[in-house]
Amino acid sequence: MSDEQIVKKFMYVNRKSPYGTIYALESLEVVLISAAFDQDVSLTFTDDGVYQLMKNQQTDGIGMKNFSSTYSALGDYEIKKIFIDKESLDERGLSLSDLQELVWEDEDEDYAEKSSINLVSRAELSEIMNQQDVVLSF
Amino acid sequence: MKLGILINEGPYQHQASDTALQYVKAALKKGHEIYRVFFYNDGVNNATRLATPPQDDRNITKEWSSLAKDHGIDLVVCVAAAQRRGILDKGEAERNGKDSDNIEDGFRISGLGQLVEAGIQADRLITFGD
């Protein structure tokens, strides 16, 4: 297929908290499918989207499936560029230590675990977004 | 230019589908090509032929359907999002043991790969959502 020759930069922008609406879950579903297409994929978490990566999520009380562990599999799907909007964390009184650690394994360095997370300012994020070919916002 | 369109909200509740419809019409008029329209999230609800809006209002589903027919546009509904929300074609209804289907002519149900492929093949992918 001709798709194999084209590698575009895809960014998935996650803006909503994880359970109030279905956007977070269905965004993750597209992200996992996109991994099969060998594109240059990155994920951004901004606004309430930063809540998607909170540690220790408990969903028993709301009767919904806790899908937060799926994010830790992103590294296995070769998705290793995760951008977190620093101002969004600040505005919510959060820091990186409140979020899951996301890692990928570097084959070239004996499968050393490396962090996928990049803490960026909004100004930096806007630069990075500008470099993308496809931005999907959920 | 070759355009891919992503619609993430259902009809009437949000303006997204209306805006996308107007956008697609305007783009066609300017000579652009619509590579595909992909319906995701509640956007899949645009595909139900069972909706009966008041007669003095627009029928968004019918408008998409006739636009697709007139211009040969590929209208694709995400299968996973559609199953959650009860949007079914004949095959899906049979596979899932449901007593009827409800998809409008001109729409087809397929996988999320069709969205990613639209992102790859189109010059621009435009999202209409909340």
pLDDT in tens, A43-52: 999 999 999 9
Of the candidates A22, A33, A138, the beta carbon closest to that of B116 is on A33
* Residue B55: other Cβ atoms inside 10 A: 6
Tokens of A86: 């620093």
- Write out pLDDT tens, residues A64-103: 999 999 999 999 999 999 999 999 999 999 999 999 999 9
Q: What is the CATH architecture assignment of A2-137?
A: 3-Layer(aba) Sandwich (3.40)
Instruction: Give the side-chain half-sphere CA count within 13 A for A11.
Output: 21
Domain limits, chain A: 2-137
Query: In percent, how much of chain A has pLDDT > 70?
Result: 97
* C-alpha B59: how far from chain center: 13
- Does B72 have pLDDT greater than 70? yes
Structure tokens that stand for A125 in this block:
């994020």
A108 SS3 class? helix
Average pLDDT over residues B13-22: 98
B111 contacts A23? CB cut-off 8 A: no
Q: Is residue B78 annotated as part of the catalytic site, yes or no?
A: yes
Residue A129, SS3? helix
Residue among B115, B121, B129 whose CB faces A30 most closely = B115
Residue span of the structural domain in which B89 resides: 2-128
Task: Pick the closest to residue A120 from A79, A87, A76, A81 (CA basis).
Answer: A87
How wide is the angle at C-alpha A27 spanned by C-alphas A25 and A30, nearest 5°?
A: 115
Count how many domains chain B has: 1
Write down the residue that tokens 């992909």 correspond to: B38
Q: pLDDT for A15-39, tens place per residue?
A: 999 999 999 999 999 999 998 999 9
pLDDT reported for residue A1: 52
Q: With 0-12 CB in 10 A as exposed, 13-18 as middle and 19+ as buried, what is B11? A: buried
How much is the pLDDT for A5?
79
Domain of residue B121, CATH code: 3.40.1260.10
